[in-house]
Amino acid sequence: MTRDPDWPGASNGGSAATVVTSTDAAGRAAGSPSAAAVTGAYVDYLAVGYLLYCVGAISPYLRVQLDLSDAETGLHSSALALGIIAAGVVADRLVRSRGPRLTQVAAIALMAVASISIAWAPSVVATLPAAGAVGLGCGLMIAHVNRTLGSSGDGVGRVRLARANLFSMLAALAVPVVIAAGLSIGAGWQFVAAPALAVLFVAVTYASREPPGVAAAAPERGHLPVEFWVAWSLVALVVSIEFSIVFWASTLVERHAVMSLGDATMVGGAFFAGMIAGRLIISRDRSGRHDPRRLVRIGLVGALAGALLTWASTTALAGALGFFVSGLGVAVLYPLSASLALARGGSHESLAAARLTMASGTAILLAPFILGALSDHIGVVAGWVVVPALCLASLALTMAVRPLRPAPAVDAASMLRA
């Protein structure tokens, strides 16, 4: 059977366990991030996951406190997505004109100011720009983390991206706990901003340890290859799958299985449990032997099976099982598809990372809205067909993601440091 060149160590018939002796300094000289940069990127993603989830979690409290309509409340998620898209437009330009470290610090500062503003703003005129600023800051940080961890496209990069996404999800799950704690101690839901500021403080200390990097007088006007845009489209589709489920899971179960919204929300929580389990699994795979395209296909089959099971379920148990299976499948999709795209960006690492952020923002903005608009006409149960359709479209697109040229042998020491 022919070995896939996308696999590290697949060249020249070599094993993925091939060892090339090198020092840490030599690895960094070749483009591998330092240990401090990797740890800093993990901290950055903790803040990203926490703040992105915050905007949705505090929306009910903003609606009550500011006396907003449902439409006005929903605009906050739209502002968040537009901010992420804006980051995809400007991230590369900022990195090349100001340098990576200054861009990272600016993103941290923006996230800190925005988290304070959205918590204590007196009106929707202030909270909407604050939500957009959260999206912009998080988008810049996502581009930074993708560039730092995933540009190599090898097994180490995939493991690091998976681990960063796991940390991000765990941070997101802490948000409702922090809100509940703030309410119980009398600090109010605004207490949710405190952990964000603490994590951002740690992030800026790691950013200050990194060299400033090279800034160019003007942004490079390179062109990303067609192979990147094929993988970019895959990223947009898999993020659409994830957020369609996140936004509409509880509503589907509530109406199809006829249960209360509170019970349906608990059932939908099985999706996040599956996501955590799936990312724990892939974040521990240090071998780099597995073809990432094949893993994406397996994940898509799992997501499809779970979506169909949930669609057919009329009980809480069946719905929870379907969501858990979907979560297991979806867990691998973004880290691995992002790694595929970044590896196909050629020499334009910053530009590829920035445009990849735009894919995520566009998916977050459009996919849940399209499913919601369809549901208004035919109902959410019938409209759920969008999720299996996205899975099938993604499966078809993976066939168009061509393998890379043979990769160099994997440094075993780098695998251990991942």
Tell me the per-residue pLDDT of 363-396, one tens digit each, with 9 for 90 and over.
888 877 787 777 778 877 888 888 999 999 999 9
Domain ranges of the chain: 31-221, 224-418
Instruction: Report, as an integer, the average pLDDT of 8-27.
Output: 34
Check pLDDT > 70 for residue 415.
no
For the CA atoms of the chain, what is the radius of gyration? 21
Average pLDDT estimate for 254-283: 78
Cα distances (Å, whole numbers) of residue 174 to 57, 169, 269, 325, 330: 11, 9, 13, 22, 20
CA distances 280 to 79, 117, 161, 288, Å, are 31, 34, 12, 15
Residue 95, pLDDT above cutoff 50:
yes
Give the architecture (CATH level 2) of 31-221.
Answer: Up-down Bundle (1.20)
Cα distance between residue 110 and residue 51, in whole Å: 12
Average pLDDT on 220-249 reads: 84
Please give the pLDDT value at position 330. 92
Q: Which CATH class is domain 224-418?
A: mainly alpha
Kindly state the tokens that stand for 61. 């409290």
Looking at residues 3-29, what average pLDDT do you find? 34
Name the least confident of 12-26, 66-80, 126-140, 345-359.
12-26
CB 185 within 8 A of CB 291: no
Give the residue-averaged pLDDT of 286-312: 85
Q: In angstroms, rounded to a whole number, what is the distance separating the alpha carbons of residues 76 and 131?
A: 6
Evaluate whether 297 touches 398 at the Cβ level (below 8 Å): yes
Task: State the chain's mean pLDDT as an integer.
Answer: 76
**Which of 98-102, 131-135, 159-163 has the lowest average pLDDT?**
98-102
Q: Quick check: 400 pLDDT over 60?
A: yes
Lookup: tokens for 53: 């989830």
Rounded Cα distance, 130 and 122, in Å:
12
pLDDT of residue 152: 53
Alpha-helix residue ranges (DSSP H) falling in 185-225: 193-209
Share of the chain above pLDDT 70, in %: 79
